[in-house]
Amino acid sequence: MAMTRFHRFLSMKRKIKTLFLTGFLLITPFLFSGWYDKEFEWSKNLEIYHSLIRELELCYVDETDPGKMIRTSIDQMLRTLDPYTVYIPESQTEDIQLMTTGEYGGVGALIGQDSLNVYISDPYEGSPAERAGLRAGDIIRKVDDRTVAGKSTAEISPLMKGALGSSVKLTVERPYTHEVITVTLIREKIRFPNVPYFSLISPETGYIRLSGFTEGAGREVKEALVSLKAKGARSVVLDLRGNPGGLLIEAVDVMNIFVPKGQEIVSTRGKSRQWEATYACRYEPVDTLIPIAVLVNSGSASASEIVAGAMQDLDRGIIVGQRTFGKGLVQTTRNLSYNANLKLTTAKYYIPSGRCIQALDYSNRRPDGSVGHIPDSLITAFKTKSGRVVKDGGGIGPDISVEPQKLSGIATHLIYRNKLFDFATRYRNLNPAIPRPADFSPTDQLYGDFRNFLAEQKFTYKTATEEALNHLIASAKAERYFESSESVFDALKKNFAHDLDKDLAVFRPEISSILADEIIGRYYYQKGRIEYMLRDDNGLNSALGALHNQEEYRKILGK
């Protein structure tokens, strides 16, 4: 009897085990098939890729460049994701340092290129290049006695960078004086300040230009605010226009200056838990009550949008300008073999109201590979601390809208064809000094000289309308419609033809302002440019108007 019960127990145990194993085997494919399928796809395609490379190397008629081919394939592969996920080879690791610290080893000069030459486009104030007397417009002829004719900026720039304390010899030609200058420069740590300019712009209002979010951005804004308050500032304008962003933690530290310790500013969410985090203020603030206006435009992105969005969500300050770029993606740098790096998108960020302001949906590309905006049907309304309605899915909308100043056609051509730059180069090389930015104004004589310069250069241009008409005429000729409608096309050409002298007269205020900005930069560098452009700034004027009317300011914030 006992044996029978024991056999029954074993039999039941076997059945339970069999049922469990059967159930597990039935369930397992559903749990792991997706993982196995993806693993198989990676393995299969990597094997195909390896065999393809082998056949190219063995059989292709000409010699191949493995490094160039692999780099091209990597870049094209990453291009199917988003523009912020990029491969960084060992030769470009300095770019990572520049992105995070704002520092690099070099001589402190940006370089540019036209159809003929590579030239110095902007020496930084106080840099080795500026101290040696190099100027914007100087044409680079040699680097360490090596002729650089025919080389690009991408080839020359690495030659000018290098280890701190090392030397580099530059030979340049100064336009319009034909002077050849050779200088030996000692490479230094070149640092781009996050706050290139701050000042009182009215007896009680301070202005802070924040141009980046590399290491120390929060500290620099704090120091600027403390200095301005000591001079009597009772309100402040924080200018984030054109600021592309940077380190997320620096955006938190900038907000920490104006809101209490412990206040949540931003959170991140990714595919895995390691990318999920919440960032709150870590320090005691400087001033939680001072009225703030934040200037933004379509070039304000990423960390700039964290600051602007948090200011709005917490009703801490007003946002003035245009809708921001709409980048709600977080990037992380990962180490690869042979000192290469991969900068990739690992998460999305969410500001205090809970909204993500990412504008483009890279996860759902159109059949042609293009990317669309987040559809209106998926845009969600959120509320600020005081109950104001704000929305996600497309940047930070301003509380006070300011129409962007659009360039005329002639001004656009003058900029992109370097005519304003070239005239400023000549002006600087023939005039040793000009008044301070606050006192400088382009005179009739200066503008007349510029018009004569354009005549000497035989400058002409076509408007967008004229270009479109030329394409239409070419199409009509190709399709053999032109002859029957030639008189119509001739009338259109006559009606749409522009007059250069008339355009130079009509758009003189705009062209003069850009020209003055270019000239001032040659003598007073970036600070001088900012100081001059703030003299007539619609966005700044709108911000000041709101700050100086506290009733309007509180009404905007819902207080």
Residue 327 annotated among the catalytic residues of the structure: yes
120 φ, ψ to 5°? -80, 120
Neighbours of 114 (CB within 10 A): 12
Structure tokens at 522: 């040659």
- Of the residues 313, 399, 422, 537, which is catalytic? 313
Q: What is the DSSP-derived secondary structure letter of residue 397? A: P
* SS3 state at 100: helix
For the chain, the helix, strand and coil percentages under 3-state DSSP, each to the nearest 5: 45, 20, 35
> Is the CB of residue 74 less than 8 Å from the CB of residue 80?
no
> What dihedral angle (degrees, nearest 10) is formed by the CA atoms of 200, 205, 206, 211?
-120
Count H helices, E strands: the chain? 17, 21
d(CA 192, CA 189): 10
Q: Which helix (H) or strand (E) element contains residue 142?
A: strand 139-143
CA geometry: angle 279, 285, 289, nearest 5 deg = 115
> Is the CB of residue 407 less than 8 Å from the CB of residue 122?
no
Q: What CA–CA distances, in Å, run from 100 to 194, 215, 247, 257, 293?
A: 12, 6, 7, 21, 27
Order of strands, edge to edge, in the sheet holding 318-321? 197-202, 205-209, 235-239, 292-296, 318-321, 400-401
CA geometry: angle 384, 389, 395, nearest 5 deg = 85
552 φ, ψ to 5°? -65, -40
Structure tokens at 453: 């310069």
> Is the CB of residue 378 less than 8 Å from the CB of residue 393?
yes
- Give the β-pairing of 292-296 and 235-239: parallel
Residue 444 annotated among the catalytic residues of the structure: no
> Is the CB of residue 327 less than 8 Å from the CB of residue 359?
yes
> Is the CB of residue 325 less than 8 Å from the CB of residue 360?
no
- Of the residues 82, 253, 300, 327, which is catalytic? 327
d(CA 378, CA 385): 23
Q: Which amino acid is at 72?
A: T
* SS3 state at 208: strand
Buried b (16+ CB within 10 A) or exposed e, 291-312: bbbbbbbeebbbbbbbbbbbbb
Residue 302 annotated among the catalytic residues of the structure: yes
- Of the residues 127, 235, 302, 353, which is catalytic? 302
> Is the CB of residue 295 less than 8 Å from the CB of residue 239?
yes
d(CA 465, CA 408): 13
* 499 contacts: CB under 8 Å, gap ≥ 6: none
Among all residues, which ones are annotated catalytic?
A: 302, 313, 327
